[in-house]
Homo-oligomer: A and B are copies of this chain.
Amino acid sequence: MKINVVKNVLKANDLVAEKNRQAFREAGILAINLISSPGSGKTTLLEKTLAALSGRDPSIVIVGDLQTSRDAERVADRAFQVTQINTGMSCHLYANQIASSLPALDLEQASFLFIENVGNLVCPGEFDLGENLKVILLSIPEGDDKVAKYPTVFRAADLVLLTKIDLLDAFQYDLKRVESDLRKLNAVAPLLPFSATTGAGMEDWLKWLQQQKAAKLGAQARFISE
């Protein structure tokens, strides 16, 4: 009985997500769902990324939080447009919350849409928002055992950013264990060490974003010409 309820909620969500994806496709914008535990560095990643992209690639940000608009305020200066969604009691964003945000946004004018999900390493992996790509952040202080313990999100990942890599020496941390656990769940998602403090991984992250944008636009062009 309970499982049926969950299935229906997920199915309804997926239908809306598909419409969101179509809107992104028509606008030629690449939508990226940022997922991690609380405090793994999603907002800091966004601050740095928006600064690097500004001028060349205007970007829209949708931020999900239970309460407050602190994260939206942090990125407001650097984003083309920002929307804050307060989820109240919900531990993840739903596709319909994204759908409701879209009419107020100029998707055609921007290159990237970054959706910062609620800090949670479980449910955001199950709820499709219509994004093109899921990026999972896992910070060093969280420990090297988290990939196996939270398989849902890592299975769904298109890229895993190992954030706060500058703190590696402060912990007993087995990088090989993380990579090995990830490969058991996900054969393809790159694992990219990253530090907003030292700038490590920043160049590769920006390169990955551009490659994904090019791949998507290329795929659309092929689709139209066929």
- Contact surface of A with B, Cβ cutoff 8 Å: 2, 5, 9, 37-39, 65-68, 70-71, 89-91, 118-123, 126, 139, 141-143, 145-146, 148-152, 164, 167, 170
Contacts and interface: CB of A to CB of B under 8 A. Distances in A.
Nearest to A125: B89
A89 B150 CA distance: 9
B148 A39 contact: no
Contact of A70 (B5, B65, B118, B149): B149
Nearest to A94: B2
A141 B164 contact: yes
Given A141-B164, A149-B66, A150-B119, A126 B89 contact: yes
A5 B151 CA distance: 27
A55 to B, nearest CB: 28
B38 A151 contact: no
Contacts of A150: 38, 66-67, 119
A143 B163 CA distance: 14
Contact of A38 (B9, B68, B91, B121): B121
A89 to B, nearest CB: 6
A38 B97 CA distance: 26
B120 A152 contact: no
Contacts of A143: 38-39
Contact of A68 (B142, B149, B170): B149
